[in-house]
Structure 1
Amino acid sequence: MSGRYGTSPGTARGAADFLVVGGGIAGAAAGYFLARHGRVVLLEAERSPGLHATGRSAALFSEYFGNPTVRALTIAARGFYTAPPDGFTTAPLLTPRGVLALETPGTAAQFEAAKVSGATAPQPVVELDEERALDLCPALLPGAFGRALYKPGACDVDVDATHQGFLRGLRAAGGSVVTGARVHALRRDAGEWQVSTAVGEFAAPVVVNAAGAWADELARLARSAGVRALGLVPRRRTAALARTPDGADASSWPMVSDVADTFYAKPESGGLLLSPVDDTPEPPGDIRARDLDVATAVHRFEQVSTLRLRHVGHIWAGLRTSTPDDTPVIGTDPRAPGFCWLAGLGGYGIQTAPAAGALLAALATGNAPPPALAALVPGLTPARDHGPDREEP
Structure 2
Amino acid sequence: MDDFIIIGGGIAGISAAARLSEHGTCRVLEREAHLAYHSSGRSAALYEENYGSPSTIALAKAGRADWYDFLAGVLSPRGFMLLCLRGEETQFDADRRHMDLTEISMAEAQARVPILDLQEVLRAACSTTAQDIDTDMMLQRFAKLLRRNGGVIETHQSVQAIQKIAGGWQVTCEEQTFTARRLINAAGAWGDEIAALAGLAPIGLTPMRRSVARLAAPGGHDPSTWPMLFGPGERWYAKADAGALIVSLAEETPSPPMDAWPDDHDLAEALARYQDYVTEEVTRPISSWAGLRTFAPDRNLVLGAAPQEESFIWAVGQGGYGFFTAPAASQLVAASALGRKPQLTAEIVAQLSPARFVA
TM-score by length of 1: 0.88
Distance 1:110 1:73, change over 3 A: same
CA shift for structure 1 position 246: 3.5
Partner of 1:379: 351
Partner of 1:194: 170
2:321 corresponds, among 348, 361, 385, to 348
TM-score by length of 2: 0.96
Instruction: State whether structure 2 residue 12 is matched by structure 1 residue 40.
Output: no
| 1-structure distance, mates of 2:345, 2:128 | 24
In structure 1, runs of 5+ residues without a counterpart are 1-14, 120-124, 388-393
1:263·1:300 contact (CA, 8 Å) conserved in 2?
A: yes
1:229·1:386 contact (CA, 8 Å) conserved in 2?
A: no
The size of the alignment, in residue pairs, is 359
Q: Deviations over 1:26-68 (max 9, x none)?
A: 0001101011110000111111111110010012112232111
1:228·1:386 contact (CA, 8 Å) conserved in 2?
A: no
| 2-structure distance, mates of 1:373, 1:342 | 18
| 2-structure distance, mates of 1:30, 1:60 | 20
Partner of 2:37: 51
| 1-structure distance, mates of 2:286, 2:63 | 33
| 2-structure distance, mates of 1:240, 1:274 | 5
| 2-structure distance, mates of 1:77, 1:289 | 32
CA-atom RMSD in angstroms: 1.4
Q: Any idea what SS the aligned residue of 1:285 has? A: coil
1:289-368 equivalences under 5 Å are 289-368=262-341
Q: Deviations over 1:204-249 (max 9, x none)?
A: 11100000000000011112xxx21000000101112100243211
Q: Any idea what SS the aligned residue of 1:337 has? A: strand
2:82·2:125 contact (CA, 8 Å) conserved in 1?
A: yes
Q: Deviations over 1:158-215 (max 9, x none)?
A: 0001011111111110110011111111121212111111231111111000000000
Distance 1:239 1:245, change over 3 A: same
1:99 corresponds, among 66, 76, 80, to 80
2:219·2:280 contact (CA, 8 Å) conserved in 1?
A: no
Q: Any idea what SS the aligned residue of 1:37 has? A: coil
2:160·2:172 contact (CA, 8 Å) conserved in 1?
A: yes
Q: Any idea what SS the aligned residue of 1:177 has? A: strand
Partner of 1:132: 108
Amino acid at match of 2:164: R
Distance 1:180 1:283, change over 3 A: same
| 2-structure distance, mates of 1:244, 1:77 | 34
| 2-structure distance, mates of 1:135, 1:245 | 15
CA shift for structure 1 position 93: 0.3
Partner of 1:151: 127
Q: Any idea what SS the aligned residue of 2:229 has? A: strand
| 2-structure distance, mates of 1:189, 1:97 | 49
Q: Which moved more, 1:192-201 or 1:213-222?
A: 192-201
| 1-structure distance, mates of 2:327, 2:183 | 19
Amino acid at match of 1:222: A
| 2-structure distance, mates of 1:199, 1:352 | 34
Amino acid at match of 1:51: Y
2:95·2:233 contact (CA, 8 Å) conserved in 1?
A: no
Instruction: State whether structure 2 residue 226 is matched by structure 1 residue 253.
Output: yes
| 1-structure distance, mates of 2:92, 2:184 | 39
| 1-structure distance, mates of 2:165, 2:190 | 23
1:73·1:373 contact (CA, 8 Å) conserved in 2?
A: no
1:61-80 equivalences under 5 Å are 61-80=47-66
| 2-structure distance, mates of 1:25, 1:94 | 15
Partner of 1:168: 144
